[in-house]
Structure 1
């Protein structure tokens, strides 16, 4: 089950479509859907989590806590809407595309993909693009 929670005034306009797409992303990786919660917040909220739980004193767009057991993926994915908006401008993409990228990014972490080294990061970007393309197929 995919849940959306809001700690800011942002609200996804198409929760049902997004949830269906994320379910398809999970299935495309041959994983089972467990309990996945997305929490949309602002920079300040996510910065506190980054410092408290990861000991990183930086701003970030997404932090995912992975509770996956075996083939059933579960987790909490915190997304800073402010960072996503800024990144969309920096990467010259729409906000909608960038929000899909971070939504998929969390799922991909739960599926075992990492993004620490150059090779891992390149594979993560490739997978994100592949999963964003699924959204257009699902509609």
Structure 2
């Protein structure tokens, strides 16, 4: 079960399309869907989590807490919509494109992909690009 929560009044347009897309990402990685919670928040909320749980005193766009059991994905993914907005401007993409990147990024962490080394980051970016191409909204 994939859930979307908001701590800052953000809501996804076409939530059902995002839900199906995330399920497709999980399936394409030969994983199974457990309980995954996406929590949208602001910079201060995510910064507090970063300091409290990870001992990192900086701002970030996403923090994921992986509770996968074998191939069944479980966990919480916190996303700062403020940081997504800023990164969209920085990288010259739309808010929606940057949001898709972080939504995919979080679940890819649960699939076992890392991003701490340059090699891991390159693979993660490639996987993000691959998964973003899977997103489509039927008209």
TM-score of the superposition, structure 2-length normalised? Answer: 0.98
Q: Deviations over 1:23-59 (max 9, x none)?
A: 0000000000000000000000000000000000000
In the alignment, which residue of structure 2 is the partner of 1:129?
Answer: 129
Task: Give the aligned CA root-mean-square deviation in angstroms.
Answer: 0.8
| Deviant stretches of 4+, over 4 Å | none
Q: Distance in 1 between matches of 2:129 and 2:55?
A: 30
Q: Distance in 1 between matches of 2:69 and 2:9?
A: 33
Q: Distance in 2 between matches of 1:88 and 1:101?
A: 10
TM-score of the superposition, structure 1-length normalised? Answer: 0.98
Residue 107 of structure 1 deviates from its aligned partner by: 0.5
In the alignment, which residue of structure 2 is the partner of 1:59?
Answer: 59
Residue 10 of structure 1 deviates from its aligned partner by: 1.2
Q: Distance in 2 between matches of 1:66 and 1:15?
A: 22
Give the secondary structure class of the aligned counterpart of 1:134.
coil
1:42 aligns to 2:42 (yes or no): yes
Q: Where does the alignment leave 5 or more consecutive residues of structure 2 unmatched? A: none
In the alignment, which residue of structure 2 is the partner of 1:29?
Answer: 29
Task: Choose 8-17 or 84-93, whichever is displaced more.
Answer: 8-17
Q: Where does the alignment leave 5 or more consecutive residues of structure 1 unmatched? A: none
